[in-house]
Amino acid sequence: MTSACERYRAFLEGLTPATLERLRDHVTDDVRFKDPFNDVRGPGAMIAVFAHMFDALGEVRFTVHRMATDNDTCMMFWTFRARLRGKEWVFDGMSAVAFAPDGRVVSHVDHWDAASAFYARLPVIGWLLERIRARLANR
């Protein structure tokens, strides 16, 4: 599965709005994509999630730093970079990617901390989360 993992890694690292439709070449018809905000099935739904990301953030960059494979599963450890509300937005995450026997992705599950990476950047919620963290730290 290393070559399938490498192909998918290259696709994700080069992902742009222009290459988004090529996702269909890399995933099965019943692919599952899950992240802290979405849990969808099928290439069309997965493309819609990524299209919304590009619409909301503009240029986005995934950089995979490390991978580990076991049978039909690949773990990708990555850094996400974009701009949110005019400020650089960078956070680390991990994707568990399972492959079908033909090398296409059957499941892509992203793991990242939405509380610190996203919610903490929102004006009211961010302030509230900071207060809660500070209070818990003082216990």
Q: How many CA atoms does the CB half-sphere of 76 hold within 13 Å?
A: 25
Return the CATH number at 53. 3.10.450.50
What is the residue range of 45's domain? Answer: 2-112
Task: State the total domains in the chain.
Answer: 1
- Between the alpha carbon of residue 51 and those of residues 8, 39, 41, the distances in Å are 18, 15, 15
Looking at the whole model, is its pTM more than 0.85?
no
Tens of pLDDT along the chain (139 residues) come to: 569 999 999 999 999 999 999 999 999 999 999 998 899 999 999 999 999 999 988 899 999 999 999 999 999 999 999 987 777 888 899 999 999 999 999 999 999 875 554 544 455 545 454 555 566 666 6
For residue 69, being part of any structural domain is answered with: yes
